[in-house]
């Protein structure tokens, strides 16, 4: 892949392809041009789908050993070029260079996990004789690829969230078309480069660059696509679910994650984790801490330390090693956040720290006294804004945490086992971190949400289950 000489081509069924129209990829920090990519048309997409349909058979006939080898080689290719990959993430997206390096390391791990899990694509025997009529039958099931998968991915983790779809798809013997976020297509193209270098047969993987509004509906509706694996916002996810037709859906959507601080918590650790969880990637993180419920007796102490620690977060140049947080992905997003904070303040919220926009940047912000009906309290902010609420007890905290239309992950800080288990059982979310914020994820764990946060689970082993289907074999024996 060449940067800027001629712009980057897209990767269609094993070939690097240019097109007439282009999309400019701009650095959100200073609007400088990073590169250009093709602005694919519906015709480009239909050609890509034809090739990917041929890729379905190619992928399915790769042996497990071949799948593992390709995945391992692609992982090593990226690992050996960590800095190149990190710079691309940091330039096209809004992560700092330190955050970007962590994402590269995680993407390497995701592909290695995919190689490992490929080994375990297997079924089990079935005891047909457990029911009348099955006495003379033996059999088993094993897992087959589902075929062609369409992966649609967001801007905020432009490499690892693509790896979370491509890795399991290849491990399961599927062909896959990736449509990365319009603003951050370069990391996905660099991932394709790694798979090409690793010897992935052509037509198994396509990365088509283009706008969701132009090619999205055709990709999602196409009958050759057997699964749409989507990560992104609730609105786009709901639209896709509505038009997809009869196919599998994986929906990894947003949230406004809660963290509960009980009066027996280790406050220092709770503050450290909450600040990190609220402001990582400038809050553009599906697991980001957005709502904190603090037991009244420790509220003042917690808030004071939060404000102090937040003031130490350094905003600035993404490529500087010192920078803590970078810009929002666009000025439009920064302005949206400004508008949401203004709305909250007009309804009575207090700004404890931050609360100001500077171009594409929004200062790390803590709000208190936030009314329950404003957008920062009930929608997904997806920016560096956290609201802190005093609560009487755990019951009130759980009730407020559950009072929204999202449920991805939650955190609770407590030393009390009963409180921890009560939260684990009663919080309506896909995961509960005890003594950590909502913002902890291992790439091997089942990951996904309830309510408006999604459908199905990723995390390599679990995505692999979604991307394969059991086929039953039953032998009727001669008496
Ligand atoms: P987005 O929903 O705007 O876009 C996501 C992707 O969908 C992009 O590739 C976009 O081009 C495409 N798209 C948009 N409209 C489409 C359509 N009509 N048809 C087909 N494709 C379409 O999201 P974003 O702003 O890129 O990312 C932020 C969102 O992603 C946040 O809500 C965040 O919480 C969520 N997210 C969720 C997870 C998770 O694992 N649960 C992880 C990261 C981000």
Number of CB atoms found within 10 A of residue 361's CB: 21
* pLDDT single digits (tens) 175-202: 999 999 999 999 999 999 999 999 999 9
The predicted model scores a pTM of: 0.96
Cα 98 from Cα 137, distance rounded (Å):
58
Closest residue by CA, ligand 1 atom 12 = 212
- Token pair listed for 77: 């290719």
| Å from CA of 253 to ligand 1 middle | 7
Q: What is the pLDDT along the chain (479 residues), one digit of tens a residue?
A: 444 457 999 999 999 999 989 999 999 999 999 999 999 999 999 999 999 999 999 999 999 999 999 999 999 999 999 999 999 999 999 999 999 999 999 999 999 999 999 999 999 999 999 999 999 999 999 999 999 999 999 999 999 999 999 999 999 999 999 999 999 999 999 999 999 999 999 999 999 999 999 999 999 999 999 999 999 999 999 999 999 999 999 999 999 999 999 999 999 999 999 999 999 999 999 999 999 999 999 999 999 999 999 999 999 999 999 999 999 999 999 999 999 999 999 999 999 999 999 999 999 999 999 999 999 999 999 999 999 999 999 999 999 999 999 999 999 999 999 999 999 999 999 999 999 999 999 999 999 999 999 999 999 999 999 999 999 999 999 97
Cα 83 from Cα 23, distance rounded (Å):
25
Does the Cβ of 39 fall within 6 Å of ligand 1? Answer: no
Is 193 among the residues known to form the active site?
no
Number of CB atoms found within 10 A of residue 336's CB: 17
Cα 279 from Cα 361, distance rounded (Å):
12
Length of the chain: 479
Does the Cβ of 182 fall within 6 Å of ligand 1? Answer: yes
Which domains are present in the chain?
Answer: 10-253+453-472 (3.40.605.10), 257-443 (3.40.309.10)
**What per-residue confidence (pLDDT) applies to 479?**
79
| Å from CA of 89 to ligand 1 middle | 17
Question: Which residue in the list 99, 286, 352, 458 is annotated as catalytic?
Answer: 286
- Token pair listed for 357: 């926009």
Ligand 1 nearest atom to the CA of residue 235, by list position: 2
Number of CB atoms found within 10 A of residue 308's CB: 12
**What backbone phi and psi angles, to 5 degrees, belong to 478?**
-65, 140
Nearest to 152 by CA among 247, 71, 240: 240
**What backbone phi and psi angles, to 5 degrees, belong to 317?**
-65, 125
What is the per-residue DSSP string for 331-356?
Answer: HHHHHHHHHHHHHHHHTT-EEEE---
**What per-residue confidence (pLDDT) applies to 5?**
57
Nearest to 201 by CA among 9, 63, 79: 63
Cα 240 from Cα 335, distance rounded (Å):
27
**What per-residue confidence (pLDDT) applies to 6?**
72
* Residue 288 contacts residue 257 (beta carbons within 8 Å): yes
* pLDDT single digits (tens) 78-93: 999 999 999 999 999 9
Does the Cβ of 254 fall within 6 Å of ligand 1? Answer: yes
What is the 3-state composition of the chain as percent helix, strand, coil, each rounded to the nearest 5? 40, 25, 35
Cα 308 from Cα 305, distance rounded (Å):
5
Does the Cβ of 181 fall within 6 Å of ligand 1? Answer: yes
Does the Cβ of 27 fall within 6 Å of ligand 1? Answer: no
Strand partners, 87: none
CA–chain centroid gap for 389, Å, is 27
**Which helix (H) or strand (E) segment is 304 a member of?**
helix 296-311
* Residue 274 contacts residue 318 (beta carbons within 8 Å): no
**What per-residue confidence (pLDDT) applies to 62?**
98
**What per-residue confidence (pLDDT) applies to 271?**
98
| Å from CA of 44 to ligand 1 middle | 22
Cα 429 from Cα 439, distance rounded (Å):
13
Nearest to 9 by CA among 196, 217, 224: 196
**What backbone phi and psi angles, to 5 degrees, belong to 244?**
-65, -30
Looking at residue 478, the DSSP 8-state letter turns out to be P
Is 474 among the residues known to form the active site?
no
| Å from CA of 131 to ligand 1 middle | 47
Full strand arrangement of the beta sheet holding 10-12: 15-17, 10-12, 205-207, 175-179, 148-152, 225-231, 248-252, 454-455
């Amino acid at each position: 892949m060449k940067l800027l000489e001629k712009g980057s081509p897209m990767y269609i069924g094993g070939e690097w392809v240019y097109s007439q129209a282009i999309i400019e990829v701009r650095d959100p920090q200073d609007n400088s041009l990073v590169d250009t990519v093709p602005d694919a048309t519906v015709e480009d997409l239909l050609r890509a789908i034809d090739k990917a349909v041929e890729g379905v058979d190619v992928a399915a006939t790769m042996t497990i050993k071949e799948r593992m080898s390709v995945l391992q080689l692609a992982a090593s290719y990226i690992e050996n070029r960590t800095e190149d990959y990190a710079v691309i993430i940091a330039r096209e997206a809004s992560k700092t260079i330190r955050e970007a390096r962590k994402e590269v390391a995680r993407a390497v791990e995701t592909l290695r996990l995919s190689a490992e899990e490929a080994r375990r694509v297997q079924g089990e025997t079935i005891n047909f004789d457990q029911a009348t009529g099955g006495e003379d039958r033996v059999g088993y099931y094993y897992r087959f690829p589902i075929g062609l998968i369409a992966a649609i991915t967001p801007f905020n983790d432009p490499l690892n969230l693509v790896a979370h779809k491509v890795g399991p798809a290849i491990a399961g013997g599927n062909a896959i078309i990736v449509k990365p976020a319009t603003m951050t297509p370069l990391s996905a193209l660099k991932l394709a480069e790694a798979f090409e270098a690793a010897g992935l047969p052509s037509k198994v993987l396509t990365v088509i660059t283009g706008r969701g509004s132009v090619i999205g509906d055709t990709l999602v509706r196409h009958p050759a696509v057997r699964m749409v694996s989507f990560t992104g916002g609730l609105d786009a996810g709901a639209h896709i679910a509505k038009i997809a037709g009869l196919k599998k859906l994986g929906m990894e959507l947003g949230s406004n994650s809660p963290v509960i601080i009980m009066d027996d918590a280790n406050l220092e650790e709770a503050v450290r984790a909450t600040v990190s969880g609220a402001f990582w990637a400038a809050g553009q993180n599906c697991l980001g801490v957005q709502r904190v419920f603090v037991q009244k007796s420790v509220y003042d102490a917690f808030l004071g330390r939060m404000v102090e620690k937040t003031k130490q977060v350094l905003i600035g140049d993404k490529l500087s090693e010192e920078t803590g947080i970078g810009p929002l992905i666009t000025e439009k997003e920064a302005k949206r956040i400004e508008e949401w904070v203004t709305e909250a303040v007009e309804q009575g919220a207090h700004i404890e720290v931050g609360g100001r926009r500077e171009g594409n940047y929004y200062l790390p912000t803590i709000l208190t006294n936030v009314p329950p009906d404003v957008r920062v309290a009930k929608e997904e902010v997806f920016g560096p804004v956290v609201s802190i609420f005093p609560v009487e007890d755990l019951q009130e905290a759980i009730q407020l945490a559950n009072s929204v239309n999202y449920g991805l992950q939650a955190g609770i800080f407590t030393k009390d086992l009963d409180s921890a288990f009560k939260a684990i059982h009663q919080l309506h979310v896909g995961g509960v971190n005890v003594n950590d914020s909502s913002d902890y994820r291992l790439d091997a764990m089942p990951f996904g949400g309830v309510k408006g946060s999604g459908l199905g689970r990723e995390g390599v082993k679990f995505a692999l289950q979604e991307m394969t289907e059991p086929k039953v074999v039953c032998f009727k024996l001669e008496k």
